[in-house]
Chains A and B, each alone.
Chain A
Amino acid sequence: MWAYFKFELSQFITNKKNIAIYAILLFLACFYAMKIAPSYEPIEKVDAKEIEARYLSREAFLSTFYNDPNRFVGMAGFGLAIYPEWNNLDKARLDALKDHDFVKYSEATSEWYVYANNITYGNERFFYSPGYYSHGNLYASEDGYYGYLYTASRYKGYAEGDYKLSLNVFEERTALQTLQRLLHSDLPMILMICCIFLTVDVVLKDRLNPTILRGFPISDWKKLIIKGIVSLIGSIGVILPLSVGLIIIGIRYGFGDFQLPVPIYTTLSKPSYFNKGEFVNTAMGNYLVDNVIFIVFCFMYLILLVLLVSMIIKNEFANLLAGAIFIFNESFFFQRGIGFFYEVENYPTNYVQVGQIVSGYRNYIYNSNALNFNHGLMIVGMSTSVLLVFIFIISKYKRYKLI
């Protein structure tokens, strides 16, 4: 069995297609690090000018209206009630920025975001940062709510932590934070697509040289398991080319720290003021480990799926199609808020966006509370074992012989 494993592994590594996949990933990683990462514009920037403009105009309003006899006419009273505290926070942020006191800035900023969100959410007169209101976004205020409280929780973590703070950390530009942002968007899908491409011919390539391979004294079932393990190792190996990009980003913007806070949206405790969940910080290291575990589970599921399909249909395009259906299925029926009506947490295809599952964002946009790490592992793991049983049964049938 060990000899067969070595044989499969050497075939896997020398396969032209697999080398090409690693090369493409290396190119993409470098391209991202050189071109795309530097032009990243966070919505919540550290911008002293913006704070100052807001602070000064509100200060002017307060000083004119404070002793005005008409101060309770119209909305002026509302302004007089909310602006003083808001301005204090803005002043604290400005002063901290001027003194380069990042801890104080974090404290004030965290409070600022909570305060601003309490007033802005559901209010027609105030707006979140303009970046949320992109063309055609109907859920801008919901995104703003998430973004503000996410940022507040993040800054709270910075104020309490004992690592080196910098503007790059605040704007999530360091290598680890970039990885976190990517996991939150497209990276899991890219990894899974790579996994499918790496696995797609692992069974069917044997059909080209049947006479040689029929001689191995090893059962089909064991062969399949070894092929699966080799593909899993290869799929996890895509981390290598991607880490080159991370190193480039790290050299430019700093690597960050494994203790950096990552806010997780949770709904387990009692609902908050706006009947939503709240954010709890976890360490960057934990977040990444959770992601890696989850992605490995998804890899196992995909690999077994591809193995099963290649046994039954024996066509590489069928493999691609089956994998693509697993990855893109969610986007066909996805709608915000349907988690309230349907049990979205019971479908393994809803766990493709791994980073968003771990950070709770999927729960937020589905308006559900069950799409979490543990439940996901259970669902994907159960589906994986079902596939494994199928493969075991089918491998006993002569009709579905590998070669």
Chain B
Amino acid sequence: MRKLLKTNFIIEKSSKKNVLTFLFVALFVFGLAIFMENKDVGNLVIQKTSEYQNLTSALSRFQEMDASQDGDSSDIYQNLNQQQRLVTLQRAAANLDRPEMFVNSAIELSNLRKVAFDLEGYEDVAVYLPTYTENQLESIFYENLRTLGIPIFKDNLTFYQFLIFLFGILGSIWFIFLAFYSCGLMIDDFRHTSIIKGYPIPFEQYVAAKGISTLSIILLVIVELVICSLPLIYFRGLGDSSYPVAVFDGDFEIYTITQYIGVCLLYMVCIAIFVILLSIILNMLLKNMYLTLFVQLFLFTLPMLLPKLISLFPFNPYNYMNFTSLLNGESLDLSNPVVLNSTHGLISILLSIVILVVVIRLFLSTGRLRRV
């Protein structure tokens, strides 16, 4: 087994695919940093300006009336007017660098929005406002900021803040990346079946060695992601690793950045093992790397194409592959809302891994290998 692993690593080392992958990942991280710099992602003034615009167009759907407390306008109209006032206040606070005022009005704003959900006529203006889940996450985030007394970060390109953003994007593309990376797994071996058959070890061990060497490359990719973000420490500073991140985890909760990244890493590794095993099985069955790729991507997109499937089969591991939207509680805002819990997700993926391992042990053997 050890010798085999050694051979595998020598093969991986000289593989053009790996070199290209590392190049691509580095380009991706640098490109993302440039993109963020260009778009000014996380600029509070821009965010609040767009929120202000939304509220203005929501208000334009009403006749202009007296919006004071004892005026004769409807409750939702008064509520929206107060929201607009607070957003303006926040924009001023962001401009004048008054973090305390910003956070206080943010909390007031989310409380107002909480009230607005039950008011009559809310559905007409719902498109202009954040969803219930988004509002909850925002509310809990700012409450936590206030209790901790940390000022709100404005530079989203400091190391830790960038990692949050990076892992957020990875959530939606990590599976796709893995599907591309691992779709050719073992295909080369089928072209030289006589060599595999000649190895003096059982087939399971051969598969295990192959999986482990691929997994270690993927772990290296994860390390590379962090290494490529390191230059940001020099350019923009380290940031704060205990800065809070609001997540949905069966319940609305606060993670620190370290915790958040930890959960993401756990998911990334589990998904990697899952995809590697599934790719091996599909390659054995279909004997064509592109077919494997298409099947993987199809399974991944199916819950997005038909959201009803999520509530029908909440334990389908593919519901949990996009861990960012999972942690953002996006499943709560679907037309058939489901509570997807990140722990359940891990359990579901791990169970599927066990099933895949059992399938490989029971049904696949060297005897079934045939030349492609």
Which residues in A have some Cβ–Cβ distance to B below 8 Å? 16-17, 20-21, 24, 31, 35, 57, 127, 130, 133-138, 140, 197, 201, 208, 313-318, 320-321, 332-333, 335
Contact = CB atoms under 8 A, between A and B. Distances in A.
A335 B291 contact: no
B305 A31 contact: yes
A315 B290 contact: no
Contacts of A316: 184
A318 B35 contact: no
Nearest to B17: A317
Contact of B21 (A24, A57, A317): A317
A290 to B, nearest CB: 31
A313 B16 contact: yes
Interface stretch (B52-60, B73-81, B311-319, B349-357): B52-60
Interface in B274-291: 286, 288, 290-291
Contact of A335 (B38, B46, B286, B290): B38
B61 A130 contact: yes
A257 B156 CA distance: 51
A315 B31 contact: no
B294 interface: yes
| Band of interface residues on B | 20 to 34
Nearest to B59: A127
A332 B286 CA distance: 36
A287 B290 CA distance: 34
Contacts of B20: 313, 315, 317-318, 321
Contacts of A320: 180
Contacts of A201: 290
The CB with the most chain A CB atoms within 10 A, among B31, B35, B57, is that of B57
Contact of A127 (B39, B57, B290, B294): B57
A135 B129 CA distance: 7
Nearest to B306: A35
B278 to A, nearest CB: 17
Given A16-B291, A35-B305, A315-B20, 18 more contacts: A16-B288, A17-B290, A17-B291, A20-B291, A20-B294, A21-B294, A130-B128, A134-B127, A135-B130, A313-B20, A314-B16, A317-B16, A317-B17, A317-B20, A321-B20, A332-B34, A333-B34, A333-B35
B122 interface: no
Interface string B126-150: 0110100000000000000000000
A218 to B, nearest CB: 25
B114 interface: no
Nearest to B31: A332
Contact of B60 (A127, A136, A197): A127
Contacts, number: 72
Contacts of A135: 50, 54, 127-128, 130
A226 to B, nearest CB: 22
B24 A321 contact: yes
B63 interface: yes
A20 B38 CA distance: 39
Contacts of B290: 16-17, 20, 197, 201
Contacts of A332: 31, 34-35
Nearest to B181: A317
Given A24-B294, A197-B290, A332-B31, A208 B191 contact: yes
Sorted nearest first, the 8 A-B pairs with minimum C-beta distance are A17-B290, A133-B57, A315-B16, A127-B60, A16-B288, A317-B17, A136-B50, A332-B31
A320 B290 CA distance: 12
Contacts of A35: 305
30 contacts: A16-B286, A16-B288, A17-B290, A21-B294, A24-B294, A24-B298, A31-B305, A127-B56, A127-B57, A127-B60, A135-B50, A135-B54, A135-B128, A135-B130, A136-B50, A138-B49, A201-B290, A313-B20, A314-B16, A315-B16, A315-B17, A315-B20, A320-B180, A321-B20, A321-B24, A332-B34, A333-B34, A333-B38, A335-B38, A335-B39
A20 B50 CA distance: 43
Contacts of A138: 46, 49-50, 53
Dominant secondary structure at the A interface: helix
Nearest to A136: B50
Contacts of A24: 294, 298
Contacts of B31: 332
A208 B46 CA distance: 55
The CB with the most chain A CB atoms within 10 A, among B20, B54, B128, B290, is that of B290
A21 B297 CA distance: 12
A35 B304 CA distance: 13
A142 to B, nearest CB: 12
Nearest to A331: B35
A269 to B, nearest CB: 32
Nearest to A334: B38
A140 B63 CA distance: 22
Nearest to A57: B63
A317 B185 CA distance: 13
A201 B289 CA distance: 11
Contacts of B17: 315, 317
Nearest to A137: B50
Contacts of B24: 321
A335 B35 CA distance: 10
Interface string B314-336: 00000000000000000000000
A130 B54 CA distance: 9
Contacts of A133: 53-54, 57, 128
Nearest to A18: B290
Interface string B1-22: 0000000000000001100110
Contacts of A314: 16
Nearest to B60: A127
Interface string B181-198: 000100000010000000
The CB with the most chain B CB atoms within 10 A, among A16, A135, A140, A316, is that of A135
Nearest to B63: A57
A127 B57 CA distance: 7
The CB with the most chain B CB atoms within 10 A, among A35, A130, A318, is that of A130
A133 B54 CA distance: 6
Contacts of B60: 127, 130
Interface in B146-205: 180, 184, 191
